[in-house]
Amino acid sequence: MFPLLSAVLATLAVGTVATFVAGNRARWVALATSVAFLAEVGFLFLSYPGWPGYNGALVPGFADSESYSWISLSWMHINYTVGVDGISLVMILLTAVLQLATVVYSWAETNRPAGYFGLVLLTCLGCFGVFIALDVLLFFLFWEAVLVPMFFLIGYWGGPQRRYAAIKFFVYTHVASIVMLVGLLALVFYSGASSFDFSAIYASARGLTVVVQAFLFLALFFGFGVKFPIVPFHTWLPDAHVEAPTGGSVLLAGLLLKLGAYGLIRWAVEVLPSGLHTVQPVVYVVAFVSIIWGSVLSLSQRDLKRLVAYSSINHMGIVLLAIALDSSLGLLAAVLLMFAHGIVSALLFMTSGSMHHTFGTRDIPTVGGITPTTPELSTFIMVGSLASLGLPALISFPAEFTALLATWNTLAYWVFVPLIILVVTAAFYLWMMQRLLFGPPKAIPTAAHDVPWYEGTGMAILVALTVLFGILPGLLVNVIMSSPIKGFPGT
Amino acid sequence: MDFSQFAGPFLPELLLLAGTLVIFLLDVLGLRRTEVTGGVAVGATAFALLFVVADLGFAPLAALATVPSSQADVVVGAGATPLYSFTSLGFVFQGIFLLSSLLVALASTSRPSNERGAPIFYGLLLLATLGMLLAAIASDLIFLLLAIELVSISTYLLVGYTRRDVRSLEAAMKFYIIGALSTVLSFFGASLLFGAYGTTNLYALRALAGAGSFPVLVLLGYGFLIAGLAFKATLVPFHAWAVDVYDGAPTDVTAFLSTGSKKVGIFAFFLVFLGPVLVTMPGAGSSPFSSGSVDLGPVLQLTLSVLAVVTMTVGNVLALLQKEMKRMLAYSSISQAGYMLIGIAIGSSPALAGATLQMFAHVFMKGGAFLVVAGVAGLGVGPLIDDWKGLGVRRPLLGVAFGLMLLSLAGVPLTIGFVSKFVLFSAAVQAKGYFVWLAVAGLLNSALSVFYYARVLKVMYFDRPAPATLPAGAVVGGSDPPVLPAGGLGYGRALAIAIAAVVIVAIGIYPQPVLGAIQAAAQHFVNVGA
């Protein structure tokens, strides 16, 4: 069978290297790579086999799987194993879309464009790798490969506090990945798995005692949780977001936060069911605290970018809650939310970047009533905000509705915690739009111009997806539900 | 037994001895040019390396094997007390030692061809390597310590061989005094063990480990041995001499000290302490002090674990504070010894394989780095890290090679340094129990080490050089060679650096050939004595 996933990986790798050495033509190479990547992902989607009944996969339950021996010792068997199920496929689609949108949005980057676009592509390459890796070492390699380019994106192209933000980001996430690595190694060796492959670990981890599972789950929960981020390990996020260049923020919010959630689902929830069951109360508490605290912090911000950054903590808290429910509906909601938040937060970060370019500030009270001056920008801000607060027919609505339904199914009246928070946040967003978009115009520089075509195109791509999947969420749901996990029919 | 039967297995050693004698003879005859003596040294080590690789069972070279497979990895029977024995792990280490001196010899051929002392340098290099090869096959404590002594005396002289530079002479003197002290401690420990057990044979000691009714004598004996060998292996708190000596020695010699002669100390740890540890692997152990006899395993494992963590941490923290390139590399070399010690503390065959791979990697990443430093000193770059400003841009190839070595030292994926640490820490987790915390400590330490390696990369690539880097009247490079033709480095050095860089990446991406051989050797080693 044609090694499809390796071919995509090779496309990205070649494109990334070519971008780094392309000098002033880097953006064209990056654009070509992104279009090719998106086309290949589209092909992956179309050729994805229907479940159940598909059994041609090398790794059970995963389509397009490939496996080659890499390191083979008497006590350690590491393979290059890749494959996709519905969850990874949705995440890969997100990666491809965000890469294209970021490249287009940043078209006018003049500060060392080769380095900038190369690092953007490298980040996406790492994320793609994380989503397809089915081997502990391979997963870890890609996981770390995301960290380094993002460090440089923040540290070189970032705002005034970029050095501090970059180092804080690096230290937090690197210490977390160390704990994650030890957790994964312990998972392999304590379970006595025959190899570092996901399928081998999946098969043997069930034999672990409940106590061991619980400890392993906690280690992995911490390791993945810092990327979420969970309160109280969230403080790297606002700094990193605010200092990062817009493209960096888009990838951070859209993709990097999803890595934590994806890792938790793939390597902890699926593999250690008793572990999750034992420490479920802890995860619930963390999720509720993240939801409430993220929303409180976001309500108190004046800076549009900071506001979006803190609301990410709130949204990822809902993702964590959905995962912790340990039900098939919850998992479906979690993946839908991850996709929706990836698109919507990316859109909002782009609008805040454009606002900064146009008005020289992101301070909401300073500028007001921008609609007459910049109608396009205010349209994008409006779509993003409405999507973020969960307006029906936009992408977040089906995701949040499923999450609330799943919470009600499992936790009954506790559903009022996220529900009330959602209502309050919605009200706040409306108030923000009222002041920023429709209020009396204040302090608008005469030189203010509307968004340039490339920024508009980047945002328009995301708006199109927001509407498309808002109206037809079934396109995603069918793919996700085909994954062979927890109550999904593929099992 | 005729001579060829006896001498055959020792062909690599005899080659080195012959090389030494030829070089000294050439010196007497007046053929002192660096190219001539260096060529002899490179040839002798290269051929010895071929034979050793053949002995390891590398199929294409099978015809060159000097040790019949019936004589290698023989399980020693009870009561047998051989002076030496051929083990696969010994061959692996012989290979590591030979690679180290081959790289150094190759790079040193780029020194000025009329340099005084070249024959002395190469002769002593081969002699020290001979001592290392002998140490790798030792199976008796006295044989081992004498072999180490041969290495030590040769390296004392190597450090001061230029006889011009005051700092080198001071370093040689310091090295000699500390070395003599450590030798005394090791021999004293060996004599205490002889008093307790009546033997110095390592297999006999392994079989007896902890038995007998002299617990204090045994503990003291092993304690003195740890102290004596820890000086050689630069473990904290026996490390203080190493930085001054590494800093003061000619940098090519430093490369050899850090990647070659120090490894002998670590290998001695393998031979001496693994016996007792393996006899009481985790799970089989009881309380450390039961009546009359000592269960040495847990005591030794705890001691070595603590030493490992302290060595890693102190080495890394002090490396963070250094402003001079050589001193920074020297401290990082100390912390690397801590990683290797983890393998000995755990004592399982995976952990041994990890530690051995770490030593193999160290030859290329740290040895290569010192060779670059030596070459760069010849280009007129000063000793401070800040003197390297912009070097990565001015000399792209050299910059990439040095960058790879630093990334490998920091344990960045797809380099050999990552693979060795990954295997080592996997083995620590695999051993379970408190060894998992050794893995955590090691990983946190590698996270810490990223900072000082990354700082050098930042200086090399992002900082702009000051206009005039050389003060008037400065002695270019100190005891290192002045400016040379061929891109300024010389062909030999450029080749050695290129080999190191290629190995770092190649084995980093596909480690199976080397790792498989090392794992098999470690497995044999554990089986032979148990």
For B69-76, the CB contacts below 8 A with 24+ separation are B71/B9, B73/B524, B73/B527, B73/B528, B74/B528, B75/B527, B75/B528, B76/B139, B76/B203, B76/B528, B76/B529
DSSP A451-464: --HHHHHHHHHHHH
Residue A489 in any domain: the answer is: no
CA contacts within 13 A on the Cβ side of A4: 18
Q: What is the residue range of A432's domain?
A: 4-481
Chain A residue numbers touching B427 (CB-CB < 8 A): 75
* Rounded Cα–Cα distance for residues B84 and A388 (Å): 75
Contact residues, chain A, for B426 at CB < 8 Å:
76, 185, 188-189
* CB neighbour burial string for A435-463, b if at least 16 within 10 angstroms, e if fewer: ebbeeeeeebeeeeebbeebbbebbbbbb
Per-residue tokens: A231: 């309160």
Give the pLDDT mean for B123-138.
Answer: 94
Contact flag B447-A186 (C-beta cutoff 8 Å): no
- The answer to whether residue A471 neighbours chain B at the CB level (below 8 Å) is no
What average pLDDT does the segment A462-468 reach?
Answer: 94
State the best of A17, A68, A75 to mutate against chain B, taking most chain B CBs within 10 Å. A75
| Angstrom distance (rounded) from CA B364 to CA B497 | 9
Residue B392 touches chain A, beta carbons under 8 Å? no
Residue A67: strand pairing partners: A81
A220 at the B interface (CB within 8 A)?
no
Cα–Cα distances in angstroms (integers) from residue B203 to residues A364, B83, B120, B206, B348, in the given order:
78, 10, 37, 5, 18
Tokens 């596909």 locate to B510
Query: Which residues, listed in sequence order, are joined to residue B324 by a DSSP beta bridge?
Result: B384
Mean of pLDDT values over B225-254: 91
Q: Tell me the pLDDT band of A490, cut-offs 50, 70 and 90.
A: very low
What value of ipTM does the predicted structure carry?
Answer: 0.85
**Cβ(B394)–Cβ(B401) below 8 Å:** no
**β partners of residue A80:** A68
**Would you place residue B63 in the very low, low, confident or very high pLDDT band (cuts 50, 70, 90)?**
confident
Tell me if chain A has a CB within 8 Å of the CB of B454.
Answer: no
**Consecutive H or E run containing A71:** strand A63-72
pLDDT at B289: 41
pLDDT of residue A55: 47
Which of A179, A185, A188 lies closest to B425 in CB terms? A185
Which of A69, A175, A185 shows the shortest C-beta gap to B426?
Answer: A185
Residue A221 within any structural domain of the chain: yes
Q: What percent of chain B has pLDDT over 90?
A: 52
Q: How confident is the model at residue A99 (pLDDT cuts 50, 70, 90)?
A: very high
More confident residue, A103 or B523: A103
Average confidence (pLDDT) over B351-361: 94
Q: How far apart are CA B436 and CA B145, in angstroms?
A: 33
Q: Which of A57-71, A380-394, B278-292, B411-425 has the lowest mean pLDDT?
A: B278-292
Range from A285-289, B162-166, B258-262 carrying the lowest mean pLDDT: B162-166
Q: State how far the Cα of B285 lies from the Cα of B299, in Å rounded to an integer.
A: 10
Question: What is the per-residue burial (b if ≥16 Cβ within 10 Å, else e) of B275-311?
Answer: bbbbbbbbeebeebeeeebbbbbbbbbebbbebbbbb
Cα-only R_g, chain A: 21
Residues 6+ apart with CB under 8 A from A313: A229, A231, A234, A237, A290, A293, A294, A297, A298
pLDDT of residue B282: 46
Residue A490 lies in a domain: no
Residue among B132, B124, B129, B128 at smallest CA distance from B160: B124
Does residue A69 register a pLDDT over 80?
Answer: yes
Return the residue of B nearest to A190 by Cα.
B430
A-interface mutation test, from B443, B457, B458, most A Cβ less than 10 A away: B443
B57 versus A116: which is more confidently predicted?
A: A116
Put simply, the answer to whether B440 touches A181 (Cβ < 8 Å) is no
pLDDT for the residue A38: 95
- How many other C-beta atoms lie within 10 A of the C-beta of residue B458? 13
Mean pLDDT of the B381-390 span: 86
User: CB neighbours of A208 closer than 8 A, spacing ≥ 6?
Assistant: A190, A191, A216, A272, A274
User: In terms of pLDDT, which residue wins out, B464 or B269?
Assistant: B269
Residue B347 is predicted with a pLDDT of 86
pLDDT recorded at residue B433: 83
Helix (H/G/I), strand (E/B), else coil: B218 = helix
Q: Which residue reads 């010389």 in tokens?
A: B490
Which amino acid, residue B452?
Y
The answer to whether B519 faces chain A, any CB pair under 8 Å, is yes
pLDDT of residue A220: 95
Q: Indicate the helix (H) or strand (E) that contains B451.
A: helix B435-461
Q: Is B458 helix (H, G, I), strand (E, B) or coil?
A: helix
Tell me what pLDDT residue A77 has: 93
Quick one: DSSP state of residue A277?
Answer: H
* Residue in B with minimal Cα distance to A219: B440
SS3 labels along A177-240: HHHHHHHHHHHHHHHCCCCCEHHHHHHHHCCCCHHHHHHHHHHHHHHHHCCCCCCCCCCHHHHH
Q: By CA distance, what is B430's nearest residue in A? A: A189
Residues present in chain A in total:
491
* Residue A232 buriedness (CB in 10 A; 0-12 / 13-18 / 19+): exposed
Q: A380 and A350 in contact (C-beta within 8 Å)?
A: yes
Task: Residue B462: count other Cβ atoms within 10 Å of its Cβ.
Answer: 12
Which residues in B335-350 are b (16+ Cβ under 10 Å) and which e?
Answer: bbbbbbbbbbbbbbbb
Say if A487 falls within a structural domain: no
Average pLDDT rounded to a whole number, residues B89-104: 94
Span between the terminal Cα atoms of chain A, in Å: 24
**Residue for token pair 């037994």:** B1
Look up residue B64 and give its DSSP letter.
G
Q: Cβ(B514)–Cβ(B92) under 8 Å?
A: no
Looking at residue B329, its pLDDT comes to 94
A172 has a pLDDT exceeding 70: yes
User: Is the predicted pLDDT of residue A45 greater than 80, yes or no?
Assistant: yes
Q: Is residue A399 part of a domain?
A: yes
In a domain, A325, yes or no: yes
Interval B398-427: pLDDT, tens: 988 999 999 999 988 889 999 999 999 999
What was the pLDDT predicted at B427?
Answer: 93
Identify all chain A residues contacting B414, using CB atoms and an 8 Å cutoff. 141
> Distance from B443 to chain A by nearest Cα, in Å?
7
Q: Name the 3-class secondary structure at B114.
A: coil
For residues B488 and B393, the answer to whether their CB atoms sit within 8 Å is: no
Q: Is the pLDDT of residue B473 over 50?
A: no
pLDDT above 80 (res A367):
yes
pLDDT number for residue B483: 44
Percent of chain A beyond pLDDT 90?
A: 59
pLDDT score of B287:
41
CB-based contact, A136 to chain B, within 8 Å: no
First to last CA, chain B: 30
The mean predicted confidence, pLDDT, of chain A is 89
Read off the pLDDT band of A447 (50, 70, 90).
Answer: low
Segment B182-193 mean pLDDT: 94
Cβ distance of A182 and B447 shorter than 8 Å:
no
Does residue A488 lie within any of the structural domains?
no
Summarised one tens digit per residue, pLDDT across range A121-168 is: 999 999 999 999 999 999 999 999 898 899 989 988 988 888 889 889
Q: Does residue A14 have a pLDDT over 90?
A: yes
The mean pLDDT of A180-206, rounded to a whole number, is 91
Identify the residue with better confidence: B58 or A89: A89
Nearest Cβ partner for B512 among A71, A137, A179: A71
| Predicted TM-score (pTM) of this structure | 0.90
Residue type, A354: S
Please list every residue in chain A whose beta carbon sits closer than 8 Å to the beta carbon of residue B425: 181-182, 185
Q: How far does Cα B150 stand from its chain's mean position?
A: 15
Nearest residue to A270 via CA among A419, A483, A479: A483
pLDDT confidence band for B294 (50 / 70 / 90): low
Who's near B460: CB < 8 A, 6+ residues apart? B388, B389, B390, B391, B392, B393, B399, B402, B403
CB contact under 8 A, A75 and B430: yes
Distance CA A266, CA A140 (A): 13
pLDDT of residue A64: 79
Q: What is chain B's mean pLDDT, rounded?
A: 86
Element (H, E) at A148: helix A136-157
Q: Which is nearest to A461 in space by CA: A78, A93, A198, A120?
A: A93
pLDDT digits (tens, 9 = 90+) for B22-39: 999 999 998 888 888 999
* A491, part of any domain: no
B461 versus B265: the higher-pLDDT residue is B265
Q: Would the pLDDT of B110 be above 60?
A: yes
Total number of domains constituting chain A: 1
Name the DSSP letter for residue A253.
Answer: I
CA distances from A334 to A231, A289, A403, A426, A469 (A): 18, 17, 7, 20, 15
Is residue B442 within 8 Å of residue B424, measured between CB atoms?
yes
* pLDDT for B191: 94
C-alpha separations of A13 from A5, A17, A18, A37 in Å = 12, 6, 8, 11
Query: B444 and A186: CB-CB below 8 Å?
Result: no
Q: Say how far residue A261 (Cα) sits from the centre of its chain.
A: 8
* A306-356: pLDDT as tens digits: 999 999 999 999 999 999 998 889 999 999 999 999 999 999 999 999 999
Using the Cβ of B423 and the Cβ atoms of chain A, whether some distance falls under 8 Å is answered with yes
Nearest to A452 by CA among A241, A162, A242, A246: A246
The answer to whether the beta carbons of residues A116 and A106 sit under 8 Å apart is yes
Least confident stretch, A58-67, B55-64, B333-342: A58-67
Distances (CA, A) of A479 to A139, A342, A392, B400: 22, 17, 21, 45
Type and span of the H or E element at A65: strand A63-72
pLDDT at B286 over 60: no
Task: Say whether residue B413 is in contact with chain A using an 8 A CB cutoff.
Answer: yes
Q: How many CB atoms lie within 10 A of CB B509?
A: 13
